[in-house]
Chains A and B, each alone.
Chain A
């Protein structure tokens, strides 16, 4: 290996160590530290935080298996999974339409997809608060068609907000994959009497799969840690891992437990990334 190939990577390694590895190790250390009486922590080894995820004291003072944190983890996975699937389903046609426009329109449409990122996330989520509220146009339409109750502060509102927040991260890689499609393959499909549906299923989908997989990771990972949408649009009625971690560092003043939950979240993210990397490697090996 040439010197540059080793030393050229030093800045990247330094950055990784300083901004990822070291903070992660600190979080890991805090998760097994002794909690402070009023928040904070002391450097005494105490791994009880991890036990607390599965076992906690009930109202009678007995230590018992308690599924409440597992339920929160499960809900977070479900929500992030649903967000990812909906984003996939919506972004395929959107990306296809964009990819088949003339270059000028294409550039404009891509610009429009990324436009929301120019505005702070909190402002965008607040906008949904207004749109879905009783006085907002969607809320009013809902009442006009005779809908029951309000749209805000429901799991549905939360999901709408999450899909809205993360869908650009899905559209862009899917668009890139569709754009690389060779039109000759589609024509070949047509020549072989494939219906539009068959072409979509057997030609377009497999060829855009890398884009979808990349988009899925980009959406799923941040969706796991989401805080704003459950708090504002979901009305904070049910905790997710993000809000649970926030509560532990805030009101509960239990930093080690917050750090332990954060590490569980981190482990889930790493797992997703590893599965994805393995699949990518296998794909590469095949081609």
Chain B
């Protein structure tokens, strides 16, 4: 319909219809119709078989008494798993710990990252160093991050005790275990969130910033009226993602504490893992997964609604 110009094609987010050439025979149509299916199938089949399928199967499992190594057929037991979950104080405890953990990691992480991004956006010396260093935690296997912090928190040979001159077992004592793993959680993805926000800052129109400064707007006012509106979409996206990542955390805490001491750091994922692969309670663990999905979906929906509303205001 719309003639494709060089400019519109390059900035185009696909808004031009596929059949954009006059003859309708151009390569824009190369992937049309049955040909598109041919190109899509190699990815679509594994997605359906190994992602969508298991997901639906997982929901079905939540309504059964599926267990490891049972010989009699699996029975459909309706809502029994969910009723058991409601009464399972250990589950609620881990659910509570999971929420505390996700909030305690995500919120400070975001605020720190925002401050750092604003800082690194400035023309400071040594900022190359922080950018270079930031790659390391990002690229590290989570298992190694966990091991590294075990070395830092070690009661005898640890960096923290050495610095403070103490001999505490940070990961092993009831009062400090959760705060200690929260610090690791913040550390692990701080660079990722910072660099993401930094990418968002490159969208901030410099002239607008300068004009606001000329008009005598203070730093806070400039942030609120110029910077924040420009980085808002990326900030909302990364904050939602990091919250979900934290809810689904496993490796970090598994390596650091294994869920202990006394279940103080037993995140929902660790709890479900134990139920499924240590005690073989597949149906019960699947029900747990369903509850987690429901909660995350609700939180995500709230977040998305806030985002859409914000876009309307803009």
Real binding pair: no
Query: B interface vs A, CB < 8 Å?
Result: none
